[in-house]
């Protein structure tokens, strides 16, 4: 018998297939595991990430939607709200309830009404408006604040590596500090 979580995820996948949303595509990493999704986010227009294609994996807990999924970029990305290992750090992916550190309101954190679509749209919004006040990547946040031109160069170099046109030529290029 299918769990509530797997039934809900099947419905959300079916809805996204029937009604695709601009800015991203989503599907299963493996057809036998509804709890692990592959997502490709297109860099939003009029941002530093425009023209890039960024891959991520969303991993859902067995008690979804009561607990949030984790989202981890598999494409290298330079952003204040993405840990160096690719994990996305945005409020709606934090467990429900009060923030023990006092940075977020309970209303900003995970609630079971969120869907795959709302999560990915929040990540796209994060790409458009980095939050350097509570960074996951301190170095990226410092560069965003203090050396914006260097930040732009790194983002541009990396997004080029993951665009459809340049993926072969940049395959082995890695982020290096300037």
pLDDT value at position 7?
Answer: 96
pLDDT of residue 74: 94
Give the span between the Cα atoms of 131 and 50, in whole angstroms: 18
DSSP H or E run through 59: strand 53-59
Question: Edge to edge, what strands does the sheet with 53-59 contain?
Answer: 24-28, 36-42, 53-59, 70-73
Domain assignment present for 167: no
Question: What DSSP assignment string belongs to 16-67?
Answer: HHHS--TTEEEEESSTT-TTEEEEEEEPPTTSTTTT-EEEEEEE--TTTTSS
pLDDT at residue number 107? 78
Residue by residue, pLDDT tens for the chain (178 residues) are 569 999 999 999 999 989 989 999 999 999 999 999 999 999 999 999 998 999 999 999 999 999 999 999 999 999 999 999 999 999 999 888 777 776 777 778 899 999 999 999 999 999 999 998 889 999 999 999 999 999 999 999 888 665 544 444 344 344 433 3
With CA atoms as reference, report the closest residue to 57 among 7, 138, 129, 119.
119
- Whether 89 is catalytic is yes
Catalytic one of 17, 89, 161, 170: 89
Asked whether the beta carbons of 120 and 39 are under 8 A apart, the reply is yes
- Rounded to 10 degrees, the C-alpha dihedral 106/112/114/120 comes to 90
Q: Determine, yes or no, domain membership for 169.
A: no
Is residue 166, in this structure, part of any structural domain at all? no
Q: Is residue 177 part of a domain?
A: no
How far is the C-alpha of 154 from the C-alpha of 138, rounded, in Å? Answer: 15
Q: What is the pLDDT of residue 163?
A: 54
Any domain includes 51: yes
Residue 15 lies in a domain: yes
User: What is the number of structural domains in the chain?
Assistant: 1
Expressed as residue numbers, the domain containing 47 is: 4-161
- Considering the domain boundaries, does residue 175 fall inside one? no
For residue 176, being part of any structural domain is answered with: no
pTM: 0.85
CATH number, position 144: 3.10.110.10
């Amino acid at each position: 018998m299918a769990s509530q979580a797997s039934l809900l995820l099947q419905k959300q996948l079916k809805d996204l297939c029937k009604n695709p949303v601009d800015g991203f595509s989503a599907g299963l990493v493996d057809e036998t595991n509804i709890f692990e999704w592959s997502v490709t986010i297109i860099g939003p227009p009029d941002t530093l990430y425009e023209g890039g294609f960024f891959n991520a994996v969303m991993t859902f807990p067995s008690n979804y939607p009561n607990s949030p999924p984790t989202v981890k970029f598999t494409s290298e990305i330079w952003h204040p709200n993405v840990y160096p290992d690719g994990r996305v750090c945005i409020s709606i992916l934090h467990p429900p309830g009060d923030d023990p550190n006092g940075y977020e309101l309970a209303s900003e954190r995970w609630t079971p009404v969120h869907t795959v679509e709302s999560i990915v749209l929040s990540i796209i919004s994060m790409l458009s408006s980095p939050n350097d006040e509570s960074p996951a990547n301190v170095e990226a946040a410092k560069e965003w604040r203090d050396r914006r031109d260097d930040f732009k160069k790194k983002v541009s170099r990396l997004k080029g590596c993951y665009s459809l046109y340049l993926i072969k030529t940049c395959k082995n290029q890695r982020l290096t500090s300037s």
